Structures are given as C-alpha cells and as structure tokens.
C-alpha cells in the first residue's frame, strides 16, 4: 500500500512537472511568434522630417524560429547607395532578447569598402511588455524595436524611424 501511494505521489509530481515544462515551452514559443514571419519596410522617417518610401528605401526581415535575417537598402542624403545585411540567431524570453550575430555587412555610402563582421558575438538586452506591445533595443545595431501585432517600428535616435509591416 505504501508503495502505491509513493508511486502515486511520484506520478502526480511528475505529471505536474510535465505540465509546468509544457507551459514554459508554450510560453517561449508564444514569445517568439510575436516576432516571427516576414517583415517589409514600408517607410523611413529621417531626422530632418523627410519621408522615404520604396524604392528610395527598401528592406526585408525574415524571422524563423531562432534565426533572423535582415537586409536594408537606402541612399545617403547625397544620393549614394547604402546597405546593411545581417544574419543572427536569437532567443526571446518574456524579459530578455539574446542575439548571436553570425555575420553582417554594412556599406555606409562613403565610397569606402563595406565593413564586415564575421566573428560570432552574443549579447542580451531587456524586453519590456505592455499588453500586446513588445519593446527591446537591438544589441548590435542602433535601433530600438517596438512590435505591436503586425506592425513594427525601429527607431535609431537622431537618425531615422523605420516602419515595418508583417507580410501575410
């Protein structure tokens, strides 16, 4: 009889632990789904108040579970082409964004060769949440990101605000 009760208690604790693990897994998946998908850059507002729309500025972000790729093309105020591309792995928890930048390439339009980052680096930043709004600072780039449903803004203080829409 004691063996049965001990076994029953073990089974209940095991089941409770399994439900807790499943809840954490589902929560983690829900966190990532806020960001996953394909995003299209629809507009950039510059510090001087001017607005750029495609084809003057173009960009795409593709976010898959644990991997995100971004490419942005625009022009300097002098009309010279610029571009930024990067591939990273990421983890998003309720309170933290952790990114490992695998590689990036930046052409700032100055005429100098593009700058490349080829050595993986990992950094984390806090995530804030209010209702359906998720906000965090990208650890390797100037923008701070705010996601609200299928809309995302990326703000690089004193430079630009990019407006993105999730492609459905």
Please check whether residue 85 lies inside any domain of the structure: yes
Q: Is residue 85 within 8 Å of 102, Cβ to Cβ? A: no
Comparing CA positions, the residue from 109, 38, 99 lying closest to residue 73 is: 109
Residue 63 is assigned to a structural domain of this protein = yes
Q: Is residue 108 part of a domain?
A: yes
Q: What percent of the chain has pLDDT over 70?
A: 81
SS3 label, residue 10? helix
Please list the residues that pair with 167 across neighbouring strands: 38
- Residue 159, domain extent: 34-167
pLDDT of 5 above 70: no
- Is the pTM here over 0.85, yes or no? no
In a domain, 151, yes or no: yes
Note whether residue 120 is domain-resident: yes
CATH code assigned at 98: 2.40.128
Q: Quick one: CA dihedral 44, 48, 49, 52, positive or negative? A: negative
**pLDDT, tens digit, for every residue of 35-63?**
899 999 999 999 999 999 999 999 999 99
Tell me how many domains the chain contains: 1
């Amino acid at each position: 009889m004691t063996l049965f009760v001990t076994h029953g208690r073990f089974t209940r604790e095991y089941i409770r632990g399994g439900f807790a693990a499943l809840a954490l897994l589902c929560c983690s998946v829900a966190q990532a789904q806020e960001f996953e998908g394909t995003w299209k850059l629809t507009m950039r507002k510059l510090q001087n108040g001017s607005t750029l729309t495609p084809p003057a500025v173009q960009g795409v972000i593709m976010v898959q579970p644990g991997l995100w790729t971004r490419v942005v093309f625009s022009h300097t105020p002098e009309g010279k082409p610029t571009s930024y591309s990067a591939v990273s792995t990421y983890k998003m928890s309720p309170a933290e964004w952790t990114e490992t930048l695998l590689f990036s390439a930046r052409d700032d339009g100055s005429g100098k060769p593009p700058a490349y980052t080829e050595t993986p680096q990992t950094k984390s930043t806090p995530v804030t949440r209010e209702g359906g709004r998720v906000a965090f600072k990208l650890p390797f780039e100037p923008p701070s990101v705010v996601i609200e449903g299928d809309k995302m803004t990326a703000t690089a203080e004193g430079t630009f605000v990019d407006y993105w829409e999730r492609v459905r």
